[in-house]
Structure formats: C-alpha cells, structure tokens
Structure 1
Amino acid sequence: MSLNVLFAAHADRWGAYRAPLQDAFSALDLDVNLALDLPPAEVDYIIYAPNSPLQDFAPYTRAKAVLNLWAGVEGVTKNTTLTIPLARMVDPGMTKSMTEWVAGHVMRYHLGMDRHIVNPDHIWAPHTPPLASERSVCILGMGELGGAVAQVLGMLDFKLSGWSRRAKSVDGVVMHHGDMGLKDALSNAQIVVLLLPDTAQTENILNAESLGWLPKGAFIINPGRGPLIEDQALLEALDSGQVAQATLDVFRVEPLPQDHPFWTDPRVTVTPHIAAETREHTASQVIAQNVWRGEAGEPFLYLVDRDSGY
C-alpha cells in the first residue's frame, strides 16, 4: 500500500522538490503518493515549512511525523495542535554552504580585506595580518552547523573556542557552557560567529553587557538567527569601537526594512539571508530516510525537543 506524503510548503517550492523527493523515495524502495493536497485523515507524513498555510495539525489523525524542511523550527514548536514527532532538517548541502559562507567572512575579517576592496583614496598602507593560529574565533552554538564550521576553521589553524547551553566536548575547540561560561567564551574572542537557535534563552545573547565582554575591536558574524543580537546594543558597540565590524545575514524582520540603520552603517555588511539554504537533492534524501525509519520502526533522525525549542 502507498504511503500518503503531503508536501506542505509554499506551492512555488513544489517544482523544485517534487522530482528529488520522488527519486529519494524510490532509492529506498518506498511506495509513496506525494502530493500538494491530500485528505487530512489519510496523510501518513507531512513534509513541512513553517511558513506553510497549514497551521492546524489536528485533522491529520493518521500522520506519524512532521518533517521540517528548514533547520529552524521556532515557527512551529509552539503550535499546540502539533502533538506528533517533529524532525528538524539537518541537510548536508546546507551545512556545506554554511561552512563556506562563514569561512569566507572569517577570512575576510582576519585578513582585513575590506581596506583593500574599498579604498577610494588609493591609500598605500601595507598591513600584515596575523597568522590564523594567532587569531581567536568563538562559535556560539555548537550543534551540527557549529561543529562543521569549527572543523573547517580548525583546518585553517584558528584558535577556536565554543559555547553551548549544555556541556559538550568538541575536538580542537575549547568549550564553555551555561550562563557562567558565556563570559569566558567571549572574553578572548576576536571574531564571534553566531549559530544558535532562536529560543527564549538565546534571544539577545549579544547585548550591551555581553558585547562589553569582548576584546575591543572584535568582529561579529551572524548567520544564525536575527533575535540573537540586540540591534541597538550592537550599533552602540560599533559607535564606541568595542565592535569593529559586523556581517549580518539574518534579522528580526525580513526583508530588513529599508529604513533600518544597518543598511547605511559602513561598519555593517548586510547579506539577504543567503548563508545557508536547504538544498533540494540532499534534503530530499534526509526526508526519505526519516520516512523509511518511521516505517521500519526506527527512531526518527533529528527529533526536536519541544522543551528546549530545537
């Protein structure tokens, strides 16, 4: 008997995902009826994007799991009608794009490339940057993405520290955790990379106080979530020189409003949420694997802890 799998994302994504999903299901010998519209009581699995029109899960009485297409799940975890397992997306393609984007901007700040790229007065000012082994980088958030970024930066020989809410050990990274460990993690961080989820505990984790723990002239890179940084505190830290520059890929409101001061601040680089995106072919393989596991009675991969919010 066919499994009924509902594609509950914006219809404009259907064309990109339909063939890769069908190929991934076929590769695992799964007989799947994949559709944009199915009777709710007949749906076995829901492939989901939090900006989907589907917000009431109560009618989906037969469904075994909701399989998120995005890494972020803050848009769905508080939905009280969702009582079945929710799996977040850990996509190898997205992980690779994130590591490439972060490594590029870390190297940009490490080498001081902006002073040569934007030099309208043609100033000849030789400046030799330190070696990577002399530059400290702190990663806030040491999950799948943070660990992958640390591995790449470690290969370049940066001095790495990391912070997570709970204690963990990561090879090649000096780890800190919890409220008390955040100050220690930031106190020597010349470059900070934010890869935390958006939760009540992580909102405004970089604020006036915590930005003050950084060495003067630090750099901020945020491809994680917009609410991790208190916008006004960052602008004030830039004005004081506490923070030298910031590259921001995510924002509290997206698209970033045209009148937001980040647009016109020469010390802020705005990128339009491009650091990492779910890649259709690799994400489809993750989705198919989770459907296979559900049918085989195996635990789902990347289950969301509703209490922690990720």
Structure 2
Amino acid sequence: MLFQVNHQPAYCYTGSKPLQPNLPTLVFIHGAQTDHSVWALQSRYFAHHGFNVLALDLPGHGRSLGAALTNVEDMAHWIIALLDAAQIAQASLIGHSMGSLIALEAARIAPTRISKLALLGNAYPMKVADALLTMAHDDEPGAIELVTTWSHLNATQQTAIPGFSLQGSARRLMQRMSAINPAQLFHTDFSACNNYQQGELAAQAITAQQLPVLFVMAKQDRMTPTKASAALRSSIVHAKTVEIDQCGHSLMTEQPDAVLNALKQFLNQSH
C-alpha cells in the first residue's frame, strides 16, 4: 500500500489486508540498509490475526521514494507523518536495530500516538566503530560482507527451507538497497545510529507515559550485544526483556518463531 508522506510515495506492506479502523495497528520499522521484507513472517502473521499492519520502507529504502533521512529524529517525525497519512491515531511500534532507535524517538516526540514499543536488537548509545563507518563510506560492498557475517550466528546455519541461505538472502537485500539508492545509504544509516543522543529523554517520556515496552535481544548478537542496551533497559524500570538463544543480530530471520512468540505474548496483553 502506498501513502503520500511529505509529498513522497511511502510503501507499507499490509499483509494484503485493508486497514480497518476498529483494529489495533502495528508499525514494523526495519534497520540499516534493509526494508520491510525483514519482517516477512511476523508482519504477515499479525495481519491475519486481528491487527492492522504497516511494515514500512523508510525513505530511500525499498519502494519508498525520496532521499534517505540522515538522522533518527527526522525518521521518527516521518513515522508520525505516516500515521497521519494512514489516518491512524495510535499504533504499537516494533523496531529492529536502527528501527528500534526510531521507535524510541517517536515515543519521545509523540508519546500519546504510541500504544506499545517492542525494541529488537537495540543498543543505546548505538555507536558504530570508526573502521566500519569508514568502510561503509569508502567500500560499501565490503561493509555489506562484514555486516552480513557479523549479523548471523554462523555461515552454515540450517533453515526450514532446503538450500536457502540466511546470509545469502541478507547480503542480496543489502546489495539491492545499494542499487536502489547508490548515495552511500549504509553510511547514512550508520551515521544516524551513531549520532543519536536522545535515548535518555525518550526513556523519561516512556516512563512518564507508562508505555508498555519489550526488549527482544539475541544472546549471540555481535552487532548490538545485550550489554549495549543494559543502561537503557534499566532506566525504563517497567520494561520487559526476552533473550533469544542461538541467533545473532538478524534474529527475525534466524529465530523467526521465537521472535513471533515474544511479540504475540507482548502485543496480545491488554496492558
């Protein structure tokens, strides 16, 4: 489904379902150099089980047009503008990695528009190593290879689909994002993560509003290890945390059922 957000087409996967005003809405926010497809299993499930789903492509990613936004704050304002365009008064936000920062910031700037937050693969601050920032700027193909390796538990991990490679699929998705938007997209996204500094204020707004919050962390995550979110998690004292074993940063594809189960339990709770 296409919406007009800030005078540009914005694509959201809805599970082939029309939006219904009487249903709760879930907004799925992808991470750096990816698009809505990273949420394939989770978004489709909820679209067919009583929720409106907006699995979005951020500007400059996937099917959404316009230049990639350069900071998390602007991305969060874009999320609120998307809700306006879709005529959604309030939604739960589910964000992965960079998307978790965007969800966090959206809760800071518009807490009454958010009903719940699920933050996957989160770190705050989300500092990116100088060497990786430089590689993303000067050698994007090399950065894609490095991140592909570091985001997965191992190269030979088996899936339910014979012959299907999780690393190969992730690599190809990031390569496709480069082809769609050749303007150093990876560096733009990484820089936005690296520069975001509003996490403490967001935690205060979330606590004041008593927004339900779930952190979903991967025990073997080398990109955003569990300790990297410890301070933020402790500052949101009512937040819940689920740790998933046998997966790295790409937890939605490495352990899709475990992620789905964590989200189902959280999102189906009445408060």
State the TM-score bracket (shorter-chain normalisation): 0.3 to 0.5
Query: In terms of Rg, which structure is larger?
Result: 1
Q: TM-score, normalised by structure 2?
A: 0.39
Q: TM-score, normalised by structure 1?
A: 0.35
